[in-house]
């Protein structure tokens, strides 16, 4: 599971700039997921082979008792309690402030690992700029410049020092990891209880720390699954009870850890920005997706049709996912739902042979060639698989950087149709082939130049001078008398 790094600090110390610096490998902002009243930013980052999640919390004033700052402080405190590492960002030019000290006191009480990043230190002597911040009592401060990137790598090296290199999980145990996510009160708890019903076979119930999602192994239809629960599943005797408390960090980590994500929506409520942001994060994370529209029972046909149209419009960017209309309370529609989970997992981990991919590519070009770009028309030569979960198709050719987004979508639709890749995001990467003869032309040119160079050279702009023999021959030639005709 990816470690989570939470950025905290008083307003205007450069947290958002540091966030953008840390998430640059994934085009900075991945998703804005609204909390109670203010947006918090969530993104992916990577240092070498170590991935991580980074969360930017907004201005933090621990002693605020009401208003917007109090609500922001509550969100920041929840993020701190669930974080793997906290980075306290301070302003090196402004120096230490009373609010910095208040935040440091709160962080010491949390028990979380904390690093102090002294920002805006460019052009300053690092030893001097960090000296005052030792007073915070959170270890040796690190001088950085989020704007220029100075010291940022060293900071993240320290943050990830206790986390090992990720292990490439090839699903050796054979269990499909399924995360059930969604905002509170959409029926995640009821769905989990329905899935872990009387016929369940549970190998173990292994909660991690209080900030981790809970993993529960069970069997359904003869297949093994690992349920990643973010709703707060608790076991009391033989009865499973759930307390739904929405945890953004827990949800993001569960999405990252899963093979397939089931996004639960409430049919009786409008699609919220939070629903759309979670769906966008699932897509950006490359996870297979099944959408469960819960509480479908009891709705009249007209209202059902209106809901379907709204979903098609507002969640059009996840059109690769199958939508199921279910009632978790009554157990209706859960069998088809899990058949789609199996199909999505199969599609996400499918092997796509190079000959079949190339044939599908050639057929696609024959059906509709890429549009010209100026004097050139992109030429698509062959394709091969570059990765799984999600599937990555790498296409080679010439002038592929001129291919428009509309044609990329056309190819994606065709590959989905040919290889039945329903339920999973599909990545397409264009690689421009280099000219294999480019390095061989230069020696040929040089050889020809040497052959030409063996001949006598004539200075530019001057006539060749006649030799002595030529002069004698010209002198010996009889001249016609003057006036002769």
Going from the C-alpha of 404 to that of each of 220, 369, 372, the distances in angstroms are 44, 12, 10
Please identify, in words, the CATH class of the domain defined by 354-432.
alpha beta
State the pairing for strand pair 214-220/392-398. unpaired
From CA 332, how far away is CA 434, in angstroms rounded?
Answer: 56
- Give the residue extent of every domain in the chain: 4-159, 176-348, 354-432
pLDDT computed for residue 15 by the predictor: 87
Distance CA 87, CA 41 (A): 15
User: What confidence tens digit (pLDDT) does each residue in 352-405 have?
Assistant: 999 999 999 999 999 999 998 877 889 999 999 999 999 999 999 998 988 999
* Predicted pLDDT at 117: 93
Angle at 282 between CA 322 and CA 328, to 5 degrees: 50
Which segments of the chain have a pLDDT < 50?
25-39, 172, 198-211, 233-240, 242-243, 436-439, 441-464, 474, 483-485
DSSP β-bridge partners for residue 289: 261
Q: Give per-residue pLDDT as tens, 154-200.
A: 999 999 998 887 665 555 457 899 999 988 888 887 888 788 764 33
Residue 395, classed as helix, strand or coil, is strand
Residue range 4-159 in CATH 3.30.499.10:
no
Taking phi over 0 as left and psi of -120 to 50 as alpha, with beta for the rest, 9 belongs to left
DSSP label at residue 24: G
Whether the domain at 4-159 and the domain at 176-348 fall into the same CATH topology: yes
Report which of 317, 416, 420, 318 is spatially closest to residue 364, judged by C-alpha positions: 416
Compute the distance between CA of residue 161 and CA of residue 282 in angstroms, rounded to an integer: 27
pLDDT at 465: 53
Rounded CA gap, 253 and 71, in Å?
24
Q: What is the pLDDT of residue 283?
A: 93
Q: Is 380 helix (H, G, I), strand (E, B) or coil?
A: strand
> Which fold, 176-348?
Rossmann fold (3.40.50)
- pLDDT for 34: 35
Helix (H) or strand (E) holding 50: strand 50-56
């Amino acid at each position: 599971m990816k470690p989570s790094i939470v950025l905290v600090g008083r307003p205007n110390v450069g947290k958002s700039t540091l966030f953008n610096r840390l998430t640059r490998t994934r085009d900075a902002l991945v998703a804005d997921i609204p909390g109670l009243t203010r947006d918090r930013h969530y993104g992916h980052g990577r240092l070498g082979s170590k991935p991580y999640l980074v969360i930017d919390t907004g201005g933090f004033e621990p002693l605020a008792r009401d208003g917007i700052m109090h609500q922001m402080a509550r969100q920041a405190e929840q993020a701190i309690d669930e974080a793997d590492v906290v980075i306290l960002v301070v302003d090196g030019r402004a120096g230490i402030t009373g609010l910095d000290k208040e935040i440091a006191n709160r962080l010491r009480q949390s028990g979380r690992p904390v690093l102090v990043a002294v920002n805006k230190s460019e052009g300053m002597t690092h030893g001097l700029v960090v000296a005052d911040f030792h007073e915070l009592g959170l270890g040796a401060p690190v001088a950085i410049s989020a704007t220029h990137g100075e010291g940022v790598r060293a900071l993240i090296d320290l943050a990830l020092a206790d986390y090992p290199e990720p292990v490439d999980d090839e699903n050796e145990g054979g269990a499909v990891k399924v995360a059930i996510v969604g905002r509170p009160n959409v029926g995640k708890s009821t769905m989990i209880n329905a899935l872990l019903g009387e016929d369940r076979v549970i190998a173990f119930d292994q909660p991690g720390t209080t900030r981790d999602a809970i993993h529960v192994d069970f069997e359904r239809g003869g297949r093994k699954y690992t349920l990643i629960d973010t709703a707060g599943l608790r076991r009391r005797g033989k009865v499973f009870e759930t307390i739904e408390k929405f945890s953004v960090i827990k949800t993001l980590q569960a999405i990252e850890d899963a093979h397939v994500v089931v996004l639960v929506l409430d049919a009786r409520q409008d699609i919220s920005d939070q629903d759309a942001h979670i769906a966008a994060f699932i897509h950006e994370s490359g996870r297979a997706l099944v959408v469960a529209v819960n509480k479908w029972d009891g709705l009249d046909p007209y209202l059902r049709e209106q809901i379907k149209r709204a979903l098609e419009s507002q969640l059009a960017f996840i059109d690769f996912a199958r939508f199921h209309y279910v009632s978790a309370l009554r157990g209706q529609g859960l069998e088809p739902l899990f058949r789609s989970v199996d199909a999505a997992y199969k599609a996400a981990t499918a092997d796509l042979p190079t000959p079949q991919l190339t044939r599908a590519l050639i057929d696609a070009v024959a059906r509709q060639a890429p549009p010209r770009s100026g004097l050139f028309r992109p030429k698509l030569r062959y394709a091969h698989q570059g990765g799984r979960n999600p599937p990555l198709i790498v296409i080679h050719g010439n002038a592929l950087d001129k291919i428009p987004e509309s044609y990329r979508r056309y190819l994606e639709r065709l590959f989905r149709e040919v290889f039945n890749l329903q339920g999973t995001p599909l990545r397409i990467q264009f690689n421009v082939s280099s000219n294999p003869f480019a390095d061989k032309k230069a020696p040929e040119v040089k050889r020809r130049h040497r052959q030409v160079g063996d001949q006598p050279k004539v200075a530019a702009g001057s006539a060749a001078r006649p030799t002595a023999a030529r002069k004698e021959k010209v002198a010996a030639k009889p001249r016609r008398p003057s006036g002769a005709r």
